[in-house]
Amino acid sequence: MKLGDLILKIFTLLVFALMYGPIVMMLAFSFNDSNVIGAWRGFTLHWYYELFSSVDIWNAFRNSVLVALVTAMASIVLGTLTALAMVRYSFKGKNVLDGLLYVPIIIPEITEALTLLLFYLWIGWGLQMGFATVAIGHIAFSVAFVFVIVRARMAGFDRSVEEAAKTLGANEIQTFFRITLPILLPGIVAAGLLAFTLSFDDFYKSVFTTGPAFDLLPLKIFSMASRGGVRPELNALATIALMISMGFALLYQWISKK
């Protein structure tokens, strides 16, 4: 083995250790039978039992799932229709709109979150922020990702299949639901899973667009860490959130490959 190859492999292993080492430690210590982080005293599920008995945490988890579901469904509809319009039709200002659709992906997330907060304050929603304001903020961010994925799916779309359906007597609506939508469905489902994951994990837009009466899981994790440091039940909570996000991310990759 050449020296250069050996150095590259060692460097790669160090990068992966730096990225995933803390995650592995968090997973391990969520089962640690000790209040002291860093001192292993045996295996236990006590912290998970304590976690599941907390009403506040379950409320935050439920709110995060509901917001993520609404975000995914709305982003799928808006992103798919936008992709169809951008690919199939020509209209005035199309190039400008095409560029604007990439802005949520390019600009820093904290900047977008701050602009959402300023917008809500400007229209008088400052005292009413909750489910609706968080969902709107997440949808505004996730639509761009759905648009990019569905548009890429349409890149190799064979229009002759639609033309054949119309020749056989199908109208525009029948052609869309029986031909176009099934062909685009793998990309749409993958985009929806990505939108759900992005919304479920989002912290910046959540903290800038929610009110004191509406808690979300990322905010709950941050609140617990800032009040009492890294506690075993916090490791358990972060582990559950991580498993959910990784599950949807892996499902997204599998559907994308299919």
With a threshold of 0.85, does the pTM exceed it? Answer: no
Please tell me the predicted confidence (pLDDT) of residue 258: 64
Task: Tell me the range of 79-83, 180-184, 213-217 where mean pLDDT is highest.
Answer: 79-83
pLDDT at 37 over 70: no
Question: What percent of the chain is predicted at pLDDT more than 90?
Answer: 12
pLDDT at 73 over 90: yes
Segment 221-258, tens digit of pLDDT: 788 777 766 667 777 877 887 888 788 778 777 776 76
Please tell me the predicted confidence (pLDDT) of residue 229: 61
d(CA 60, CA 75): 22
pLDDT at 23 over 90: no
- Whether 146 contacts 81, CB under 8 Å: no
Average pLDDT over residues 206-228: 82
d(CA 147, CA 62): 27
pLDDT at 71 over 70: yes
Average pLDDT over residues 181-206: 87
What residue ranges in the chain does DSSP mark as E strands?
none
* Residue 149: C-alpha distances to residues 83, 89, 182, 189 (Å): 9, 18, 15, 10
Count of other CB atoms within 10 angstroms of residue 91: 8
Nearest to 134 by CA among 217, 56, 77, 67: 67
- What are the residues whose beta carbons fall under 8 Å from the beta carbon of 186, sequence distance 6 or more? 153, 255, 256, 258
State the pLDDT confidence band at 166, using cuts at 50, 70 and 90: confident
pLDDT at 8 over 90: no
CATH number of 54-257: 1.10.3720.10
Task: Tell me the range of 35-49, 101-115, 162-176, 232-246 where mean pLDDT is highest.
Answer: 101-115
pLDDT at 135 over 90: yes
